[in-house]
A = this chain, B = another copy of it.
Amino acid sequence: MRSPVFEHFDEAWGQRVVGAKSKNGVDGFLGIVVTEVSPGRLVAEMEAAPQLMTFIGNMHGGCISALCDHVLGTVLYPIMPSNHWAATTEFKINLMAPVTKGVCRATATVIAMTRRMAVVRIEVENEDRLVAAAQGTCTIVAPRGEPGA
């Protein structure tokens, strides 16, 4: 599959974000850490920690859904003009296998992008298996007063 061309890439953004663990918010609770950033691609990891499990002993699907929602927008930050932000418009996720231990590794790839919208695909791997796949749309929002706002 042909990859889109990205006009913009903020390499410093990637350097700031990789390895940093959020202390707050749902991403902090989930323990999401971004591990790789390149133009149109972002990888993030989340450990199968006890607080993410259901009473059955599997990771709650809501954690994997939230991880996907998180990387769906985040992958766009280094390739959008500065001061723009990305809002998830919609996504779809298939949960294909239970997660009981180890690390969930989500890879987000931008497959199409215009000034106002991007389509992103995500694969989540755990213990050498594909456990989830998602596809979604983000709206790119310009600051007030700028073209596209």
Contact = CB atoms under 8 A, between A and B. Distances in A.
A112 B96 contact: yes
Given A94-B119, A94-B137, A128-B2, A65 B69 contact: yes
Interface of A: 1-2, 4, 24-30, 51-54, 56, 60-63, 65-70, 73, 85, 87-98, 107, 111-112, 117, 119, 121, 123, 125, 128-130, 133-135, 137
Contacts of A2: 125, 128-130
Contacts of A29: 26, 29, 51
Contacts of A98: 87
28 contacts: A1-B125, A2-B129, A2-B130, A25-B53, A26-B60, A26-B62, A27-B62, A29-B51, A60-B66, A60-B70, A61-B87, A62-B65, A62-B67, A62-B69, A65-B68, A65-B69, A66-B66, A89-B89, A89-B137, A90-B94, A92-B93, A92-B135, A94-B137, A96-B119, A121-B135, A134-B135, A135-B135, A137-B137
A147 B123 CA distance: 31
